[in-house]
Amino acid sequence: MSDLLGLSTLHRIPAAARPRITPGEAAAGIVHLGLGAFHRAHQAVFTEDAMAAAGGDWGIIGVAPRSVAVYDALRAQDRLYSVTTLAAEGRSTRVVGALAGVRHAASDPGAVVELLADPAIRIVTLTVTEKAYLLDPATGRLRLDDELRGDLATDRPPRTVPGLLIRGLAARRRAGAGPIALVSCDNLPANGHRLRGLIEPLAAATALADWVAGNVTFPGTMVDRIVPASTAETRAVARAQLGVRDEAALSGEPYAAWVIEDDFPAGRPAWEKAGAVLTGDPRPWERLKLRTLNGVHSAIAYLGALAGRETIADALELPGMTAAVRRFIAEDIAPSFTPPPGVETIAYGEEVLRRFANPAIDYRTVQVAMDGSQKLPQRVLHTIIDRRAAGATPRWGIMVVAAWMRFVGGRSDDGRALPLDDPLAERIRSRLAAAPATPAGVVDALLGLDTVFAPDLAGDDTVREQLAEWLTAFAKHGVGATLAGAA
């Protein structure tokens, strides 16, 4: 008898953990690109709950762009997987039945193009991470690289996400399959506008512009749930809770939020019945979340990793850390924008700190630290730019950038190697290698990354000086002692 989670073993798991919709019952209506943990613990759960509450053929076909491991694991389990909610008080596990299919784009790109041409598919959601947008992070403009040029100019299977989408949209137009919404669920500001800014120039280059203008919408979203990378422990917990093995098991915090711009030309699931907020303009929510939650997450990640802390919750316990990030929120972040109506940024920040302190969540500092060149602009640099424009000196935001500059040097305070997992890793390393190994040398070298630092910021002498001061303090006392003395 199989002990693997699947349709034939569902009867063996506790009734409360069984999927809320019968797997296979709802036909597919959504294609999702990026089958990572975040999607499966966030949008898939909202969508299952919406279908359970209000019906509709909104099953999700999940597409793994590259990694084959998740795709194989989900196929072996009839696309079922569990999410364990981790709270300090205890945990609960549920199996999610929202996936109507899975595909692997790298080995079968044609299948994805065909799905986009299917009239049953009316929504495409994306969690493909910041770097897949091929946008210059400092300017937000499309960066046409060789791979994307190849996707546009040849018939070879598309290798980039924009290439795949354009090919799919062209097929949809030919098939007369009707309008569709493309929904970015990545942590980018004005993510809907960015996705539109990516697709429209490409559509114009392929004579799709009019059809896209009349048939495709780009609703923006704010997505939020802390979903750590799965480990052997996650799978062991799932097995204990379910009584069967789940090789695709996930865990997440109790909190989940989804704010969605309501612009779906061919319908949508009743996500509001699952707790999502449908709105005319999600941008104030995105800004609040990116600058506060993600900005502070990155701050704790760089400072904590340098001080030798492996998890966010442990890093928060460093003497001075909570005081420093509270001042970052109160003095730099809160005055940098107007929050959504009814929300107070400092109170929101306090809730974020409580969520980060959840002792049941092992979120690695190096996981948040990765792809810093893609994350820093919207998480920290926009706060600094807005405060500088208002004549203020955002000392704490500048400290976070200095921590990133020390982090990409590759060593923690006690000399341990730190991973530089970043699409600009080579450029960062070669700039650092060519620069004098002094604080001012490091600042000059890294501010020269013009796709990260906009010219106004890179040319700001006050910012430069403060960056060098923080780097000097970090080198002299270590990050732990600097924090303890700073706030």
Under the binding rule (CB under 6 A), the answer on residue 367 touching ligand CS2 is yes
Report the DSSP pairing between strands 90-96 and 180-184: unpaired
Under the binding rule (CB under 6 A), the answer on residue 355 touching ligand CS2 is no
Under the binding rule (CB under 6 A), the answer on residue 130 touching ligand CS2 is no
Choose, by CB under 6 A, the member of 99, 368, 428, 442 that binds ligand CS2: 368
> Cα 111 to the chain's mean position, in Å?
25
User: Between residues 211 and 255, which has the closer beta carbon with respect to ligand CS2?
Assistant: 255
Minimum Å gap between C-beta 297 and ligand CS2 is 4
User: Between residues 256 and 405, which has the closer beta carbon with respect to ligand CS2?
Assistant: 256
Under the binding rule (CB under 6 A), the answer on residue 48 touching ligand CS2 is no
User: Between residues 151 and 186, which has the closer beta carbon with respect to ligand CS2?
Assistant: 186
User: Between residues 9 and 298, which has the closer beta carbon with respect to ligand CS2?
Assistant: 298
Under the binding rule (CB under 6 A), the answer on residue 460 touching ligand CS2 is no
Minimum Å gap between C-beta 433 and ligand CS2 is 27
Under the binding rule (CB under 6 A), the answer on residue 294 touching ligand CS2 is yes
Minimum Å gap between C-beta 476 and ligand CS2 is 29
Tokens of 143: 């960066």
DSSP, res 7: G
DSSP, res 64: E
User: Between residues 109 and 220, which has the closer beta carbon with respect to ligand CS2?
Assistant: 220
Q: Identify whether the C-beta of residue 402 lies closer than 8 Å to the C-beta of residue 352.
A: no
d(CA 68, CA 70): 6
Under the binding rule (CB under 6 A), the answer on residue 422 touching ligand CS2 is no
Minimum Å gap between C-beta 253 and ligand CS2 is 9
User: Between residues 224 and 261, which has the closer beta carbon with respect to ligand CS2?
Assistant: 224
User: Between residues 270 and 301, which has the closer beta carbon with respect to ligand CS2?
Assistant: 301
CA torsion angle 381 386 387 388 (round to 10): 90
Nearest to 401 by CA among 439, 427, 367: 439
d(CA 448, CA 77): 48
d(CA 324, CA 330): 10
Give 135's strand partners.
142
Q: Can you give the length of the chain in residues?
A: 487
Tokens of 297: 């997450």
Under the binding rule (CB under 6 A), the answer on residue 132 touching ligand CS2 is no
- Exposure letters 388-418 (e unless 16+ CB within 10 A, then b): beeeebbbbbbbbbbbbbbbbbeebbeeeeb
Minimum Å gap between C-beta 74 and ligand CS2 is 21
Nearest to 81 by CA among 40, 34, 39: 40
Minimum Å gap between C-beta 423 and ligand CS2 is 14
Size of the site for ligand CS2 (CB under 6 A): 8
Q: Which of residues 185-224 bind ligand CS2 (CB under 6 A)?
A: 187, 224
Choose, by CB under 6 A, the member of 225, 382, 406, 431 that binds ligand CS2: 225
Nearest to 422 by CA among 114, 11, 101, 129: 129
User: Between residues 226 and 473, which has the closer beta carbon with respect to ligand CS2?
Assistant: 226
Laid out side by side, the sheet with 81-87 consists of 90-96, 81-87, 250-252
Minimum Å gap between C-beta 367 and ligand CS2 is 5
Helical spans, DSSP H, in 283-344? 283-288, 295-306, 312-316, 321-327
Choose, by CB under 6 A, the member of 167, 291, 297, 431 that binds ligand CS2: 297
Q: Identify whether the C-beta of residue 223 lies closer than 8 Å to the C-beta of residue 42.
A: yes
User: Between residues 187 and 378, which has the closer beta carbon with respect to ligand CS2?
Assistant: 187
Binding mask 158-177 for ligand CS2 (x = CB under 6 A): --------------------
Site residues for ligand CS2 per CB under 6 A: 187, 224-226, 294, 297, 367-368
